[in-house]
Amino acid sequence: DQQVKQNSPSLSVQEGRISILNCDYTNSMFDYFLWYKKYPAEGPTFLISISSIKDKNEDGRFTVFLNKSAKHLSLHIVPSQPGDSAVYFCAASEGAGNMLTFGGGTRLMVKP
Amino acid sequence: NAGVTQTPKFQVLKTGQSMTLQCAQDMNHEYMSWYRQDPGMGLRLIHYSVGAGITDQGEVPNGYNVSRSTTEDFPLRLLSAAPSQTSVYFCASRLGNYGYTFGSGTRLTVV
């Protein structure tokens, strides 16, 4: 049973609008969460992370929100740009630096 | 600075053949790991190593073998390839609690 789930396999958004990517987890021991971005034929690259002691972390156009009671996190991209088109993976671990468990990924398409 | 280098980029194997996927990093990272990516399944951990001479199993280790004789290299061996091992394989490394650096992947097809 997948401990980290991304229930939307794909998302299409207009350039300039907000993209919201969602992720749910079941393991209550997870306390560190990350988002990775992956372009075709490349390895995933780290985007942003959040520790369970916070409920929000921002980095430029990217914001991650964590709702511990719902075991849910989301990544907001504002404004979305065509170059953001990629597959986004959320990942979780028990403690920063420990083994990561990944979700299945969401393919984001930002239309010009 | 090359980061994490994986070779080969593509490989086709016949069922029962063995091969080694190479991974090398030049960042002096302690932690290295191998993942496989399958559609809808995300990345699943095969094996990992916390330092030279130390390896451990991840979520899906069956059919794979690893060793870590140096800090830089972490090869993944397929002992007897099966069609179920058709996948994209990623090697990753990290230093301490910082985020992972991934290689560009090896696309393996077993026929």
The model's pLDDT over B40-49, given as tens digits with 9 standing for 90+, comes to 788 999 999 9
Look at residue B17 and tell me whether its pLDDT is greater than 70. yes
Confidence category of residue B98, pLDDT binned at 50, 70, 90: low
Q: Give residue B41's pLDDT.
A: 80
Q: Give residue B1's pLDDT.
A: 60
A41 contacts B99? CB cut-off 8 A: no
B45, B88, B95, B100, best to mutate vs chain A, most A CBs in 10 Å: B100
Our CA-based measurement puts residue A69 at a distance from the nearest CA of chain B, in whole angstroms, of: 24
A9 to chain B, any CB pair closer than 8 A? The answer is yes
A100 contacts B97? CB cut-off 8 A: no
DSSP classification of residue B109: E
Mean per-residue pLDDT, A38-43: 92
Confidence category of residue B94, pLDDT binned at 50, 70, 90: confident
Long-range contacts of B13-17 (CB under 8 A, 24+ apart): B13/B78, B13/B81, B13/B108, B13/B109, B13/B110, B13/B111, B14/B81, B14/B110, B14/B111, B15/B81, B15/B82, B15/B83, B15/B110, B15/B111, B16/B80, B16/B81, B17/B80, B17/B81
Query: In the predicted model, what is the mean pLDDT of chain A?
Result: 94
First and final C-alpha spacing in chain B: 36
Which A residues, 52 through 111, put their C-beta within 8 Å of a C-beta on chain B? 89, 91, 96-97, 99-105
- Among B94, B99, B104, the residue with its CB nearest the CB of A42 is B104
